[in-house]
């Protein structure tokens, strides 16, 4: 399913609000998504065909926190379909620098990384050619609002070959968002309404 003309965000949201207050509101909305299981199933049903269509060899994704869409089952199915595919999870080496990515499979031992987020324990570094990026909020023109650390913006800007950037979010968090100078748009957004 594709959303050729995504629905417009509610008027008066996003552009005029302080970003910290906006994040707080959107995180609460994401936590309260009705029929979460159904919404996640629809995201998964749209995401897997997109990954197949893009001919990705190494997919960077994220360990789910704070009610983000859990992409692990989709990534596991994507990996199982072709032995030449690889997946990688990000690790924060220190604040203010791009993310490092390390190979992951469903059997990879994990350890606690910065901010208590699990990271692969002792696997090789990887250079993804596509990234799944969680969105606290996202706009119709494919800009995302993250947690405010700037990790993904720095990572996308620093990679020698820009990866395909796929934002993942829920329709409850679609907003009118004023992009800032360092913000980079996603190539794709996937929500429970489809792919755009």
pLDDT (tens digit, 9 = 90+) per residue, 7-41?
A: 444 444 444 458 889 999 999 999 999 999 999 99
User: Rounded distance, CA 77 to CA 18, Å?
Assistant: 39
Which CATH number applies to 24-195: 3.30.420.10, 3.30.2320.50, 3.20.20.70, 3.40.50.10420?
Answer: 3.40.50.10420
**pLDDT over 90, % of the chain:** 73
Confidence of residue 164 (pLDDT cuts 50, 70, 90): very high
**Can you tell me which residue has the tokens 């620093």?**
158
pLDDT at 51: 97
């998964």: which residue's tokens? 44
Counts for the chain of helices (H) and strands (E), in that order: 4, 12
Measured distance CA(86)–CA(126) in Å, rounded: 9
Q: 115 a known binding residue? A: no
Angle at 5 between CA 136 and CA 144, to 5 degrees: 20
pLDDT digits (tens, 9 = 90+) for 72-126: 999 999 999 999 999 999 998 887 889 999 999 999 999 999 889 999 999 999 9
Q: What is the DSSP letter of 6?
A: P
Determine whether the annotation assigns residue 144 to a binding site: yes
- Name the E strands within 10-113: 58-60, 86-91, 100-104, 110-112
The answer to whether 62 is a known ligand-binding residue is no
Dump the DSSP string for 107-148. T--EEE-GGG-EEESSPPEE--SEEEEE-SEE-TTS-EE-SS
**79 labelled ligand-binding:** no
User: Any known ligand binding at 146?
Assistant: yes
Known binding residue 152? Answer is yes
Taking phi first (over 0 means left), then psi (-120 to 50 degrees means alpha), and beta for anything else, what does residue 67 get?
left
Tell me if 85 is assigned to a ligand binding site. no
- Chain center to CA of 81: 22
Q: Any known ligand binding at 138? A: no
> Does 151 show up as a binding residue in the annotation?
yes
Rounded to whole angstroms, the Cα distance separating 75 from 158 reads: 24
Q: Is 145 annotated to bind ligand?
A: yes
- Is 171 known as a binding-site position? no
User: Is residue 116 marked as binding?
Assistant: no
**184 is an annotated ligand-binding site residue:** no
């Amino acid at each position: 399913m594709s959303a050729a003309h995504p629905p417009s965000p509610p008027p008066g949201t996003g552009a005029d609000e302080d970003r910290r207050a906006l994040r707080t509101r959107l995180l609460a909305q994401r936590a309260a998504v009705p029929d979460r299981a159904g919404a996640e199933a629809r995201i998964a049903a749209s995401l897997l065909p997109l990954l197949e269509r893009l001919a990705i060899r190494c997919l960077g994704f994220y360990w789910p926190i704070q009610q983000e869409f859990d992409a692990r089952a989709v990534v596991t199915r994507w990996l199982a379909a072709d032995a030449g595919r690889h997946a990688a999870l990000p690790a924060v080496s220190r604040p203010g620098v791009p993310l490092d990515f390390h190979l992951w499979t469903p059997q990879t031992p994990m350890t606690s990384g910065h901010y208590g987020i699990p990271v692969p324990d002792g696997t090789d570094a990887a250079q993804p050619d596509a990234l799944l990026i969680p969105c606290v909020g996202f706009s119709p023109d494919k800009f995302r609002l993250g947690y405010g650390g700037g990790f993904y913006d720095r990572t996308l800007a620093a990679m020698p070959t820009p990866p395909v950037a796929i934002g993942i979010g829920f329709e409850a968090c679609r907003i009118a968002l004023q992009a800032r100078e360092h913000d980079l748009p996603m190539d794709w957004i996937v929500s429970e309404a489809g792919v755009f």
